[in-house]
């Protein structure tokens, strides 16, 4: 998106109701914060997150199962 297109979009946003404008501002500020984050997912990690979120029947471990797995790994 060019600077001109961004300026046009902001002009339209300024015609929205105040609550919607606040939502748009929060979204842009969140994007800016994310860009400054020290940690980033690789494409493979992002794909894995998406795959897991899409799983219709996720497997959750009990606390006992988590402890058992950690003890197997020497943690």
Please tell me the pTM assigned to this model: 0.50
Give the C-alpha separation, 32 to 21, whole Å: 17
Indicate if the pLDDT at residue 16 is higher than 80.
yes
Indicate if the pLDDT at residue 75 is higher than 80.
no
Q: Which of 13, 50, 46, 49 is nearest to 28 (CA)?
A: 13
| pLDDT score recorded for residue 25 | 96
Give first-to-last CA distance, the chain, whole Å.
Answer: 48
- The domains of the chain are located at 3-72
């Amino acid at each position: 998106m060019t600077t001109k297109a961004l300026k046009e979009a902001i002009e339209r946003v300024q015609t929205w109701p105040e609550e919607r404008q606040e939502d748009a501002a929060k979204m842009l500020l969140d994007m800016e914060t994310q860009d400054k984050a020290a940690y980033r997912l690789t494409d493979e990690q992002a794909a894995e997150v998406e795959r897991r979120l899409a799983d219709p029947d996720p497997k959750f471990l009990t606390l006992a199962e988590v402890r058992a797995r950690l003890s197997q790994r020497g943690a």
